A and B are shown apart, each in its own frame.
Chain A
Amino acid sequence: GESGYAQNGDLEDAESDDYSFSCYSQLEVNGSRHSLTCAFDDLDINSTNLEFQICESLVEVNCLNFNKLQEIYFIETNKFLLIGDSKICVKLGEKSITCKKMNIVNIVKPEAPFDIRVIYREGAKDFVVTFNTSHLQKMYVKNLIHNVAYRPEKDENNWMHVNLSGTKLTLLQRKLQPDAMYEIKVRSIPSTYFEGFWSEWSPSYHFRTPEKNSAGEMG
């Protein structure tokens, strides 16, 4: 990012400390209000008296100051223009220690999907997986890629993954272990115009596959 503006005097230690930081945005997270969350990459940093500020590509204002919640800096506003770069700075009083140019639409972290369910269809010998996402009702970040992960519970690291843009998926029974307890969860990432990061995982859902019958078939 942009090099810091560390000066002499009270900022002497600023030279040695690493004030690098990361941010993510969530659009329309509260009605039409967006949020921006930043944190120092070095969790051990002494952030007393350090503030964050965003300027440029804002509506009606030049800059906005972040609120501080423990080690997280946070803004909720509807003043993001969503067009063009903004400049986010770490400030000590009026001095900018380090700044970064960021575009709010490129650091989007979607809200986690929810309500994941699995329904077994005996006739079709498959499992229908459905889930929900608040992004279906949003104006801006409507297009996401969802990553569904599932595994047999006794097989800790054997996660299988499927990426899809819809919110419905079918798993064939013959592709799963019989008589086994499965865990399944899903997360999302922006896919069109907007860029950014994976959301948090949804809460997991657990389901059991049928036993094998005498004919060697599940059911």
Chain B
Amino acid sequence: LTYNFSNCDFNKIRVEYDQIIFSDLKKYMNGTKSTQFNYNISCNNPPDCLTEIQRVTFSPTHGCTSLHKEMFAVKTKATLTLQCPGYSGIQINNTQAKKNRKKREVTTNKCLKQASQLLGLWRRFSRIKGN
């Protein structure tokens, strides 16, 4: 399910990230050094950044299938739903997620790496002006 983020209210998303989501993301990363992972995902403009943020947040990957359940992810979905007309959020492929659940508990480091990519993507989104 792909969505075009061009019509979102980027300023409101920035404020909600800054005031709400950032705290939860930092809490999730608690104890992880910012230098522990290097950022290898970037984005060029606000819609592009939100596309990447959604992908990294909600698409289960090998070794990290449950990031979407974390508080910061739930709130990311809420702000995208609120500030992006027509956005209905990604329907997680539950069968895929359930199958890998046991692995997720062992390899949370992969989730931390993904979360640190999100920090980079959100920081980039917050800095790129343009509405």
Interface residues of A (CB under 8 A from B): 32, 57, 59, 81-84, 105, 139-140, 192-194
| Consensus secondary structure, chain B interface | helix
Interface size on B, residues (CB 8 A): 16
If A83-B79, A83-B82, A139-B27 touch, does A192 touch B74 (CB 8 Å cutoff)?
no
Question: Using Cβ atoms and an 8 Å threshold, which residues of chain B touch A193?
Answer: 15, 18-19
Contacts A57-B78, A82-B75, A140-B19 given; 20 further ones with Cβ under 8 A?
A: A32-B27, A59-B74, A81-B75, A81-B78, A83-B16, A83-B20, A83-B75, A83-B79, A83-B82, A84-B78, A84-B81, A105-B20, A139-B26, A139-B27, A140-B20, A140-B23, A192-B19, A193-B18, A193-B19, A194-B19
**Inter-chain contact count A-B, CB under 8 Å?**
32
Question: Using Cβ atoms and an 8 Å threshold, which residues of chain B touch A83?
Answer: 16, 20, 75, 78-79, 82
Interchain nearest-CB distance for B31 vs A (Å): 15
Interchain nearest-CB distance for A216 vs B (Å): 52
Q: A139–B75 contact, CB under 8 A?
A: no
- 20 pairs across A/B with beta carbons < 8 Å? A32-B27, A57-B78, A59-B71, A59-B74, A81-B74, A83-B20, A83-B75, A83-B78, A83-B82, A84-B78, A84-B81, A84-B82, A105-B20, A139-B23, A139-B24, A139-B27, A140-B20, A192-B19, A193-B15, A194-B19
Question: Using Cβ atoms and an 8 Å threshold, which residues of chain B touch A32?
Answer: 27
Interchain nearest-CB distance for B50 vs A (Å): 15
Question: Using Cβ atoms and an 8 Å threshold, which residues of chain B touch A105?
Answer: 19-20
Question: For residue A59, which residue of chain B has the nearest CB?
Answer: B74
Q: Mark B8-27, 1 if CB is under 8 A from A, else 0.
A: 00000001101110011011
Q: Mark B37-56, 1 if CB is under 8 A from A, else 0.
A: 00000000000000000000
